[in-house]
């Protein structure tokens, strides 16, 4: 075979993935042969720095109640939340997001901006105890209203968009004053990011960032969360302001609007069934921190299947969260955070 013929054969082999002598090559499999090789060429990396731990805080003292539909997740009083956060920090978790469960709920969700509320008191204590921990506060009314909707209602029992914006501003300011690094408006109320940004700036909290729930879908995967915060809607549903699960392009418009109004981070929620949306948002807004929420229903499904012996929890959870990173997520809010942090530490 002449030099030119050999060179042409190699070119064909490179294109077709075979060796120069016509024998099928193991070109791709060579780099899968050992754990070290696989780690060396891995494209998506899951790290403890990617994790945000959600916490449910309630009024009272010494209270710790497991959420029935979420094994291993608890409603806890402020004093006990500190202990759980200490465990998280020891494992390297750098951020938590707080959801409040007030003793008393009303039609206006006034407990959401109460300086003595469970979230506000938790923020103060956690800021003092863990100065380097990133504190995120959920900024919504659904946990605080007696009707379970994400805003105050108009005479037709629909969410009054503009009246709700004023209250969200008050909530964000109270959370910032208590030590939040980031506030997270999550109700999908039109104009919520602009309202929160304006309120924060006017109150002298221009350094507090906004993690916007930009693409929050009207999902069936939220049921265990509503169990946790005891905040299911008393009537109707939230499809009038949360996104239709059939839509993807709309997520890009929502994210673009939130960034234009001052969001510092954007989010897609839920995560697992919306990885196509995560990818589209990532491709459209390169360089913007992108958060996904591995929601309660996703967590509960895994826990139930593993309890029945049908799945191996560690392997499944790592695979799921790695898929979220592969799709483009920078950060993952997940109830698995403590376990994953522990597994990653053991792996090292």
* Options 216, 303, 325, 347, the catalytic residue: 216
269: helix, strand or coil = strand
Q: Is 269 a catalytic residue?
A: yes
Q: Is 216 a catalytic residue?
A: yes
- Listed in sequence order, the residues at least 6 apart from 309 whose beta carbon sits closer than 8 Å to its beta carbon are none
CB 220 within 8 A of CB 226: no
CB 201 within 8 A of CB 209: no
Q: Return the HEC string of 276-338.
A: HHHHHHHHHCCCCCEEEEECHHHHHHHHHHHHCCCCCHHHHHHHHHHHHHHHCCCEEEECCHH
Place of tokens 């294109």: 15
Q: Return the HEC string of 201-256.
A: HHCCCCCCEEEEEEEEECCHHHHHHHHHHCCCCCCCCCCCCCECCCCCHHHHHHHH
Q: Measured in whole angstroms, how far is the alpha carbon of residue 54 from the centre of its chain?
A: 8
* Options 105, 269, 303, 325, the catalytic residue: 269
- Beta strand 134-139 with 182-185 is parallel
- Listed in sequence order, the residues at least 6 apart from 203 whose beta carbon sits closer than 8 Å to its beta carbon are 173, 176, 177
- Listed in sequence order, the residues at least 6 apart from 26 whose beta carbon sits closer than 8 Å to its beta carbon are none
CA quadruple 141, 121, 76, 302: dihedral sign = positive
So which residues are the catalytic ones?
Answer: 216, 269
């Amino acid at each position: 075979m002449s030099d030119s013929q050999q060179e042409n054969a190699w070119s064909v082999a490179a294109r077709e993935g075979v060796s120069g002598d016509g024998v099928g090559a193991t070109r791709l499999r060579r780099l899968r042969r050992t754990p070290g090789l696989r780690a060396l060429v891995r494209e998506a990396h899951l790290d403890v720095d990617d994790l945000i731990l959600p916490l449910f805080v309630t009024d009272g003292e010494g209270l710790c109640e497991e959420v029935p539909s979420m094994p291993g997740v608890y409603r806890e009083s402020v004093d006990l939340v500190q202990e759980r956060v200490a465990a998280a920090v020891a494992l390297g978790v750098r951020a938590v997001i707080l959801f409040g469960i007030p003793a008393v709920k009303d039609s206006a969700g006034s407990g959401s901006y109460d300086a003595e509320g469970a979230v506000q008191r938790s923020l103060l204590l956690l800021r003092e105890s863990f100065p380097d921990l990133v504190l995120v506060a959920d900024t919504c009314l659904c946990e605080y209203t007696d009707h379970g909707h994400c805003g105050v209602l108009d005479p037709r029992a629909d969410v009054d968009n503009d009246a709700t914006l004023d209250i969200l501003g008050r909530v964000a300011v109270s959370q910032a004053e208590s030590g939040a690094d980031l506030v997270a408006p999550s109700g999908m109320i039109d104009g919520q990011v602009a309202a929160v940004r304006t309120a924060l700036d006017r109150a002298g909290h221009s350094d507090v960032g906004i993690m916007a729930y930009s693409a929050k879908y009207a999902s069936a995967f939220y049921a265990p969360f509503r169990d946790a915060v005891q905040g299911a809607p008393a009537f109707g549903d939230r499809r009038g302001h949360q996104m239709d699960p059939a839509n993807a392009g709309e997520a890009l418009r929502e994210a673009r609007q939130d960034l234009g109004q001052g969001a510092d981070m954007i989010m897609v929620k839920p995560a697992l069934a919306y990885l196509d949306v995560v990818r589209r948002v990532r491709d459209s807004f390169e360089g913007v921190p992108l958060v996904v929420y591995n929601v309660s229903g996703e967590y509960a499904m895994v826990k139930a299947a593993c309890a029945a012996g049908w799945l191996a929890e560690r392997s499944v959870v790592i695979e799921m969260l790695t898929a979220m990173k592969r799709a483009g997520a920078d950060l993952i809010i997940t109830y698995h955070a403590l376990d994953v942090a522990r597994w990653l530490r053991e792996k090292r």
